[in-house]
Amino acid sequence: MNSLRLFIKLSRPLPIVGVFLTFGMGAGIARYLGASIDWSLYLLSQAWVTLLQLSMHYFGDYFAHPADVANVPRTPFSVRSNALGPGKLSRNLALWAGISCLAVAASLTVLILRTVESSPAVLLIMGLIFLGVMSYSVPPLRLASSGYGELLMSILVATLVPALAFLLQADDWSRLLPMTTFPLLLLHLAMMIAFEFPDYAADARYEKSTILVRIGWQRGMQLHNILLLGGFGLVGISWALGLPYQIALPALLGLPIAAFQIWTMNRIEGGGRPNWLLLTSVAAAIFGLTAYLLAYGFWTR
Q: Please count the other Cβ atoms lying within 10 Å of the Cβ belonging to residue 5.
A: 10
Distances (CA, A) of 111 to 7, 29, 141, 165, 172: 28, 23, 29, 15, 21
Residues 249-267 have pLDDT tens digits of 999 999 999 999 999 999 9
> If you average pLDDT over every residue of the chain, what do you get?
92
Beta partners for residue 89, in sequence order = 84
**Percent residues over pLDDT 70 in the chain:** 95
**Percent residues over pLDDT 90 in the chain:** 75
- As a whole number of angstroms, the distance between CA 203 and CA 21 comes to 30
- As a whole number of angstroms, the distance between CA 35 and CA 171 comes to 8
- As a whole number of angstroms, the distance between CA 187 and CA 81 comes to 23
Find the radius of gyration of the CA atoms of the chain.
19
What does the pLDDT read at residue 14? Answer: 92
What does the pLDDT read at residue 94? Answer: 93
- Of 78-87, 105-114, 152-161, 182-191, the least confident: 78-87
Query: Higher confidence at residue 76 or residue 241?
Result: 241
101 HSE (CA, 13 A, CB side): 23
- Which DSSP string corresponds to 102-144? HHHHHHHHHHHHHHTT--HHHHHHHHHHHHHHHHHHSTTT-GG
What does the pLDDT read at residue 75? Answer: 78
Tell me which residue of 11, 8, 20 sits closest to 287, measured CA to CA: 20
Query: Can you list the domains of the chain with their CATH numbers?
Result: 2-300 (1.10.600)
- As a whole number of angstroms, the distance between CA 285 and CA 104 comes to 31
Amino acid occupying residue 76: P
Q: Please count the other Cβ atoms lying within 10 Å of the Cβ belonging to residue 273.
A: 6
What does the pLDDT read at residue 202? Answer: 81
Distances (CA, A) of 255 to 39, 185, 229, 233, 297: 33, 16, 8, 10, 17
Q: For residue 70, what are the contacts with CB-CB under 8 A and spacing of at least 6?
A: 202, 206
